[in-house]
Amino acid sequence: MLENAKIPLLGFAAFSGTGKTTLLSKVLPVLKSHGIRVGVLKHAHHNFDIDHPGKDSHTLRHAGASQMLIASSKRWALMTETPEKNDAPDLNEMLSQLDQSKLDMILVEGFKGDSFPKIELHRQSLGKPLLHCDDKDIIAIATDDAIATDSPIPQLDINDEMKIIDFILGYLNISLQTEKPSIKA
């Protein structure tokens, strides 16, 4: 149960190289242009660093800061060291880090093993197995070719971001408006 999800949440689950980031980079500007404030939570399967050697924040973090918050008039970022953790990040814990009062929805890239509503992205050419067969939380499949399946879940064209946006908004019960979005009661 994701008790830290206070607003509508939907994920994109797929094997690496399927196009999760590519799809999100097409979906996000459309949602933003309609005033929908979207938070994105991305799971990285490897060590990553958003800070770079030579920057003061990098120097201070490597000098021993457990948390390093860097801020400007345009943005801020908080980096938190978690050397005691060896397991994957906890989705529910990460959701609690977002300021959901300033968002209308959260889109999640990855965390495919967690239980929450997801759209599976599938490209036949990659030769990877389908995820929805073993994941009851997959609510649709976005694919580049129709899939013969016994599952009644909808199939979407992975290359038609407008249809995917329509599906997302319908599923999350959010209306597109030119002003401020509203969540339907």
Confidence of residue 20 (pLDDT cuts 50, 70, 90): very high
Under the banding of pLDDT at 50, 70 and 90, the label for residue 18 is: very high
CATH fold for the domain made of 51-87: N-terminal domain of TfIIb (2.20.25)
Q: Where are the domains of the chain?
A: 9-43+88-183, 51-87
List, for residues 54-111, the tens digit of each pLDDT value.
Answer: 888 888 888 888 888 888 899 888 888 877 777 778 899 889 999 999 999 999 998 8
3-class DSSP state for residue 89?
coil
Rg (CA), the chain: 18
Q: What percentage of the chain has pLDDT greater than the value 70?
A: 92
Superfamily for 9-43+88-183? P-loop containing nucleotide triphosphate hydrolases (3.40.50.300)
Neighbours of 162 (CB within 10 A): 11
On the question of pLDDT at 139 being above 70, the answer is yes
